[in-house]
Structure 1
Amino acid sequence: MENTSEVLKEKTYSNLDFYVGLTLAISSSVFIGSSFIIKKIALIRLTRKGSLRAGAGGFGYLNDWMWWFGFLTMGVGEVANFGAYAFAPASLVTPLGALSVLVSAVLASKCLNETLNILGKLGCVLCIVGSTVMVIHAPKEEQTGTLDDLLNKVREPTFLNYILVVISITVIILVYIGPRYGNKYVSVYITLCSAIGSLTVMACKALGLALKDFFSGTLPFSTHLWIIFGLLVIIAVCLCIQMTYLNRVLDLFNTNVVTPIYYVFFTTMVITASAILFKEWQKMSSRDIVGAMSGFLVTVVAIFLINTFRENQQPTKQNFGSI
């Protein structure tokens, strides 16, 4: 009887964590989707005032209150996102970022006069459907319960090789590809932001586990203080890089391009990093694996619909075809 009671209690806590993570992930998408539009409005205002554009390396937006409001909105979204990753698997939380695509598209049509035709709107719906299918088939429980478990997995060669690949991609884009093609192709800096973002998510996951261990009394703060501090530094550096180059992309390209493509790239990188680090897919049934992959493919199709079928095309630098 005692064993049965403990199992039921553990299952209850697991279900509670799932719904808490789900709620935080949805809230995060609303805030982040809104922040794209707020910051875009701020960048447009600065351009009209004659300030050096962020796409050309300008930092005039740092003196604009509206940009900071957008930054604060994204910060709230990221905090909610951090909380979601602390309670639920990354492969469950990340696909819900598709909601930010819908929020951004709706607000862009209201505030920026960026319109989508019927096929583009169908793409928004398919994006939500595909993400929902992914969530249904994603793992619902954590495979890593403590910080020590996570640190052991981080030391494995496969994940260390992934970190090396991300660092290599970052250096190549910053030194060679970015200066030459970053203003022409939206995928250049989005690839950079997505690769760095995948490490940000893993660091947030580790920080969440560290804080949970600390508050539960299983993590000696004095012993593991350097771990928490190191994770905060990694998160701060990664977020600074992401924000800097995401601002450049938003300044150069249409919001209805940036948001969905960023979702596809970012989701792919996070799921890849999560699969390598947490090995969540190894304990999934073949049915769930097929379902999750199918949902992701539907989302990719939706992204291309949003990317291709639109109205009121912008000048060449904002062309949706420059991917």
Structure 2
Amino acid sequence: MENSSDFNATVPLISAEALRAQIVQNPLQACWSWSTAHVCNYLLGIIISICGNVLISVSLNIQKYSHVRQAQRGSKPYYTSGMWWSGVVLMGVGELGNFAAYGFAPASLIAPLGCVSVIASAVISVVFLKETVRASDVVGGSLAITGTYLLVTFAPHASTHITAHLVQYYAISWHFLLYLFIEVILFCILLYLYKRRGVKHIVIVMLLVALLASLTVISVKAVSGMITESITSQLQLIYPIFYVMLVVMVASCAFQIKFLNQAMKMFDATEVVPINFVFFTASAIVAGIIFYQEFEGLALLNIFMFLFGCLLSFIGVFLIARNRPKIKQQDRTFIPMDKIPGRRNTDKVQPEAKTQTYGSLAAKLMCNRAGQTDD
């Protein structure tokens, strides 16, 4: 098994300051030179992630508009609408873009860029769905945009090519095995509290999602990176670690969606969205630091400004998502029998199911007589 220095030696890494200096002096030559290929991949990953998140927000608003239109017409189910299916297709394309972005840029950067989807969704809902602009939307959007700029500027720029041998080496490293052991213990404790003890607090559910999301980020970046490496350089799909990571990715995504759906049933979306974004981003950053060692060699100022950008994005998403307008429930078209004034013994209006008059015309006559005697 190769050691860490061998892997790092195969991929030349240069500092972010040197990369910026080369790009400023001669942008064309720097972009096309082999030594700055990482910068091009870095920018490509950012662009793909931003476009993917914008497509996701557009798809969600298209599906929302389709639901509203179908509810007004009240004729056919929503899944018969071509507009709804176009939203589903756009969401698939956006998620595919996010998946591809992990193969070009660090996971600790791609995950926080999910705030772009929240910002774009707020803008689209105001422009096209005619929702009211609130002061918290403006302040939250400004903070989220500022945080995104800090993330892109101070995130780790250096990245290595993800190969099967590199993933194998990272997977058996002692710090990842210790992290995985702690994560499994925490997951079992939280699952015991949630399933056996019946603790239905939102933090418990979202922590379960976050622990699964950590494995999802690790496996998604591994699978995406190995596919990218197979297309651009050397085939990586022949190694068993690729299929191990593929299984982990599918399983963690499935259980993550399961717990998210349960959270959406028990709690309001204005609570689930910001908490899920914060927990998912934090778990992705920790996974990138521990498994892929993305913060290795990063300056202290860069780390501080990166974390500050994450904090601004968290606050911005919280301000945008909180107190969003809720869907009104349909008004009841009936009055409970026990609420009718002047009615007594209403529990005896409906005959017993075991009697011969149950469900017959005689039962209706008995109900009418009972109503006359009670007046």
| Shorter-chain TM-score above 0.5 | yes
CA distance in structure 2 between the partners assigned to 1:66 and 1:251 by the alignment: 25
CA distance in structure 1 between the partners assigned to 2:191 and 2:69 by the alignment: 27
**1:82 aligns to 2:99 (yes or no):** yes
What does 1:234-273 correspond to in 2, within 5 Å?
234-273=248-287
SS state at 1:142 partner? coil
Residue in 2 that maps onto 1:305: 319
What does 1:7-156 correspond to in 2, within 5 Å?
9-36=33-60, 72-107=89-124, 117-143=134-160, 145-156=162-173
CA distance in structure 2 between the partners assigned to 1:218 and 1:46 by the alignment: 50
Which segment drifts farther, 264-273 or 235-244? 235-244
TM-score by length of 1: 0.75
CA distance in structure 1 between the partners assigned to 2:321 and 2:31 by the alignment: 48
Report the alpha carbon displacement of residue 129 of structure 1 after superposing the two structures with TM.
1.1
Aligned-residue identity in percent: 29
Report the alpha carbon displacement of residue 136 of structure 1 after superposing the two structures with TM.
0.5
1:123-177 per-position Cα deviation (integer Å, ceiling 9, x unaligned): 1220121122021100112045533123212211211222233333433344422
CA distance in structure 2 between the partners assigned to 1:109 and 1:178 by the alignment: 40
Q: 1:114 to 1:244 in 2, by over 3 A?
A: farther
The answer as to whether partners of 1:27 and 1:80 remain within 8 angstroms in 2 is yes
The answer as to whether partners of 2:194 and 2:205 remain within 8 angstroms in 1 is no
Q: Tell me which amino acid in the other structure corresponds to 1:248.
A: Q
CA distance in structure 2 between the partners assigned to 1:247 and 1:71 by the alignment: 17
What does 1:208-287 correspond to in 2, within 5 Å?
208-216=224-232, 218-219=234-235, 221-222=237-238, 224=239, 226-287=240-301
Structure 2 unaligned segments of length 5 or more: list them: 1-28, 72-77, 329-375
Q: 1:236 to 1:218 in 2, by over 3 A?
A: same
Q: 1:70 to 1:8 in 2, by over 3 A?
A: closer
**1:190 aligns to 2:206 (yes or no):** yes
1:6-51 per-position Cα deviation (integer Å, ceiling 9, x unaligned): 997223422221222111100221233345556778999999xxxx
CA distance in structure 1 between the partners assigned to 2:167 and 2:199 by the alignment: 37
CA distance in structure 2 between the partners assigned to 1:254 and 1:41 by the alignment: 20
CA RMSD of aligned residues (A): 3.8
The answer as to whether partners of 1:104 and 1:256 remain within 8 angstroms in 2 is no
CA distance in structure 2 between the partners assigned to 1:164 and 1:41 by the alignment: 45
CA distance in structure 1 between the partners assigned to 2:185 and 2:231 by the alignment: 37
Report the alpha carbon displacement of residue 87 of structure 1 after superposing the two structures with TM.
0.8
Bigger relative CO (Cα 8 Å, ≥ 6 apart) = 1
Report the alpha carbon displacement of residue 311 of structure 1 after superposing the two structures with TM.
6.5
Residue in 1 that maps onto 2:75: none
Q: 1:228 to 1:311 in 2, by over 3 A?
A: closer
Report the alpha carbon displacement of residue 300 of structure 1 after superposing the two structures with TM.
2.8
Q: Tell me which amino acid in the other structure corresponds to 1:91.
A: S
Structure 1 unaligned segments of length 5 or more: list them: 48-60, 316-323
Q: 1:16 to 1:220 in 2, by over 3 A?
A: closer
Q: 1:243 to 1:35 in 2, by over 3 A?
A: farther
Q: 1:204 to 1:236 in 2, by over 3 A?
A: same
Bigger radius of gyration among the two: 2
SS state at 1:86 partner? coil
Which segment drifts farther, 147-156 or 244-253? 244-253
TM-score by length of 2: 0.66
The answer as to whether partners of 2:140 and 2:315 remain within 8 angstroms in 1 is yes
SS state at 1:282 partner? coil
Q: Tell me which amino acid in the other structure corresponds to 1:80.
A: G
CA distance in structure 2 between the partners assigned to 1:266 and 1:168 by the alignment: 19
